[in-house]
Structure 1
Amino acid sequence: MMDQIKWGIIGCGNVTEVKSGPAFDIVDNSELLAVMRRNANLAADYASRHGVPEWYSDADKLINDPDVNAIYIATPPDAHESLAFKAMAAGKPVYIEKPMGRNGAECDRINAESKRTGVPVFVAFYRRSLDYFLKVKELIDQKVIGEIRFVDICLQWQPYDEEVGENPKPRWRVDPEISGGGHFHDLASHQFDFLEFVLGPIKYASGIARNQAGFYAADDIVMANFEFESGVVGKGSWCYTINKEQREDKAQIIGSKGRITFSFFEKFDIIVETAEGTEVFNIPYPKHVQQQLIDSIVKELRGEGKCPSSGETGARANHIMDWITQKQ
């Protein structure tokens, strides 16, 4: 068991500015001691702005810092496997940004190494700890809408300005060599992880993934069907080349007595419709959305609780997306 969890961040980019980074110093028995970014000036700037004692431009130096005893890997997915192996070799628990890897095989190798070394791995599927999503789970568990029949997901997202036009500037998220796929790979990982959290394992998934607009190499539209071991079935559509007015983020879980409508990305209403009427729950996200999950990691490392997002659960989203995009 560990006493004080002393974190080092590898890859202190945008996700660490508010969503995760500050939370390491807010959670009890946790502190952020060091950050690393390949650009030394940016690493130093982050450390200065966030009051972090040490910064590095070399990941190996951060991993081997004797004062750091846990590693948060917040790089793009192409570096997750190699950095996780190095952290585990140093005996330091690993918290990996989602998606856990570029594909299911990478995730499986990380988990196999975790099992071999006994060093725990966690994945940043923080919706498993957010009050908004825990409310959705509570409504399902209490059978407010009866027995669950099917799930319907629709995510339509406008392209980023730099991805379109005559001279598009690709982002790493739409470079399959770096991210493993496109925006589907980035965003749908959250969706499938949460669906398995509330409805159990998905046993089958298939789909069509295509690039229609030609803005980048990755797929920009995906259609999928999937089935849970419980017998619940689902379908989903993801399109990333529409205008802003068409943007939609809508998920429905339909049961024998009603439906729950909610959003996966920063819309805070949960709408419950049954024969008794309609009820709306408004539950905003906290300022640091990863704080509650990080707290659960710290508690597990201290022997005081259990984190709901492990390497084993984190790998599942990658395998489901592989099935849908026919990558394995």
Structure 2
Amino acid sequence: MDQINWGIIGCGDVTEVKSGPAFNKVPHSRLVAVMRRDAEKAADYAKRHNVPKWYTDADALINDPNINAIYVATPPDSHEDYAIRAMRAGKPVYVEKPMARNSAECDAMNQVSRETGMPLFVAFYRRALPYFLKIKELVEHKVIGDVRYVQIQLNWQPADRELGKAPEPNWRVSPAISGGGLLHDLASHQFDFLEYVFGPIKTASGIARNQAGLYEADDIVAATFEFESGVLGTGNWCWTVNKEQRIEETQFIGSKGKISFSYFEKYHITVETEAGVEEHNVPFPEHVQQPLIEQIVNELRGNGKSPSTGETGARANQLIDWITAK
């Protein structure tokens, strides 16, 4: 392919800034059509983002001869279906994270990718963001020596709600749609990046419970995991604390120091060694998915390799399946 003409299935919030505009800012790439079942919303998105065409039917977009690549940006319950339809129609697919609701759906998607020869990519864009590449560089350069263990801590309060009150409807905490709860939505990013830095995790287990009863999904999870490299890890996630207990931090503890950083809220990296404390501030770009989209476009044009594929993307689902197994 010389020019990558994208069609988006599901032009919701994630596509407004994080991804959608980036398709027209990457060289040799343009967004030519969007699809949403609500015609008014599809037309509005197309108008605001200067997209030439819009659809309310996914098959019509998939089979548009002017489109040669598909971005699936719907909730996870339809990722498998749309991705497989697109690949069987001869279109490479870029799918939102988490890749699907569970590892079985991911496996089905990867199987069709192999059968059809159509590339499959997943929106684990932290693999291409300068902030996270800096963290990876610090580890590889052994700034903190040999990493011994990883510690993840995430405590968040229910968004815009008081404890004890049911939240507004949210697909992210509906297991039938998301595959689980907020662990699937957020920890998938965390585990994907950890494997990018340290290699495969060979074992993972955990305890997942619903303590507050605000919704059906788990709202607290504790996990342990071990990398094939020998690095150990622990993680604790809780979504029902008050704002005073809010924290989101990951630490890499090494033989000669510690790296502390945030996946979701801050742009600075703290490195603590015997030499002192060093801070790195690496802001995110305006469109956080743009660096990854550029690498995907380059691969489709035969000029590179995306760091995030269907095979790597499926790993996060596998790990979360292990951790949340009842």
Query: One-letter code of the match for 1:62?
Result: L
2:265 & 2:27 partners in 1: Cα distance? Answer: 26
Q: Percent same amino acid at aligned positions?
A: 69
Structure 1 segment 117-196 matched on structure 2, within 5 A: 117-161=116-160, 166=165, 168-196=167-195
Secondary structure at 1:22 match in 2: helix
Kindly indicate whether residue 324 of structure 2 is the aligned counterpart of residue 322 of structure 1. no
- Which residue matches 2:61? 62
Consecutive unaligned residues of structure 2, counting only runs of 5 or more, are none
2:163 & 2:48 partners in 1: Cα distance? Answer: 33
Q: CA deviation at 1:182?
A: 0.5
1:97 & 1:228 partners in 2: Cα distance? Answer: 25
> Is residue 158–residue 167 contact of structure 2 (8 Å, CA) maintained in 1?
no
Query: One-letter code of the match for 1:17?
Result: E
> Is residue 170–residue 216 contact of structure 1 (8 Å, CA) maintained in 2?
no
> Is residue 163–residue 215 contact of structure 1 (8 Å, CA) maintained in 2?
no
Kindly indicate whether residue 235 of structure 2 is the aligned counterpart of residue 232 of structure 1. no
1:293-322 CA-to-partner distances (Å, cap 9, x unmatched) read: 000000000000000000000000000000
> Is residue 163–residue 170 contact of structure 1 (8 Å, CA) maintained in 2?
no
Q: CA deviation at 1:174?
A: 0.4
TM-score normalised according to structure 1 size: 0.98
TM-score normalised according to structure 2 size: 0.98
- Which residue matches 2:71? 72
Count how many residue pairs are aligned between Structure 1 and Structure 2: 326
Secondary structure at 2:20 match in 1: coil
- Which residue matches 1:216? 215
Q: CA deviation at 1:243?
A: 1.7
RMSD: 1.1
- Which residue matches 2:251? 252
> Is residue 132–residue 284 contact of structure 1 (8 Å, CA) maintained in 2?
yes
Secondary structure at 1:324 match in 2: helix
Query: One-letter code of the match for 2:17?
Result: V
Structure 1 segment 44-59 matched on structure 2, within 5 A: 44-59=43-58
> Is residue 174–residue 181 contact of structure 2 (8 Å, CA) maintained in 1?
yes
Greater shift after overlay, 87-96 or 158-167? 158-167
1:319 & 1:211 partners in 2: Cα distance? Answer: 21
- Which residue matches 1:206? 205
> Is residue 22–residue 290 contact of structure 2 (8 Å, CA) maintained in 1?
yes
Secondary structure at 1:207 match in 2: strand
1:15 & 1:163 partners in 2: Cα distance? Answer: 26
> Is residue 163–residue 216 contact of structure 1 (8 Å, CA) maintained in 2?
no
> Is residue 163–residue 171 contact of structure 1 (8 Å, CA) maintained in 2?
no
Consecutive unaligned residues of structure 1, counting only runs of 5 or more, are none
1:315 & 1:286 partners in 2: Cα distance? Answer: 26
